[in-house]
Amino acid sequence: MPTGINGRDILSYITPSLLMAETHPNTDGIAFHVECGCAWEVEHGLEITISGERILYVGPYEGISPYNQARLESIGFYDDESDFSGNFADQE
């Protein structure tokens, strides 16, 4: 992942290729799953999973549904107050 960049500068390094909107099976909630190509992970690409205003996952492509709680817990939810996990969003 590129170092020394801030905020929207990351957009220069990624190419979104697929956006999926999913509805929650038991509520009216909606979540988004974005797949991207990226300069630092050519083989696997980048995946971004968002529910409401909450970032759930940013990392190598894992095919993570916003509503697959067990899978999100195994890879690591984004938590800006936690120690590093496999989730790029947790890294500074």
pTM exceeds cut of 0.75: no
Q: In what order do the strands lie in the sheet with 54-60?
A: 14-23, 30-38, 46-51, 54-60
The distance in angstroms from the start CA to the end CA of the chain is 11
Give residue 87's pLDDT. 53
Q: State the pLDDT at residue 91.
A: 45
Residues 54, 47, 8, 79, CA torsion sign: positive
Residue boundaries of the structural domains of the chain: 7-90
Divide the 92 residues of the chain into consecutive groups of 10 and give the mean pLDDT of each group.
76 89 80 87 85 81 75 62 52 42
pLDDT score recorded for residue 35: 92
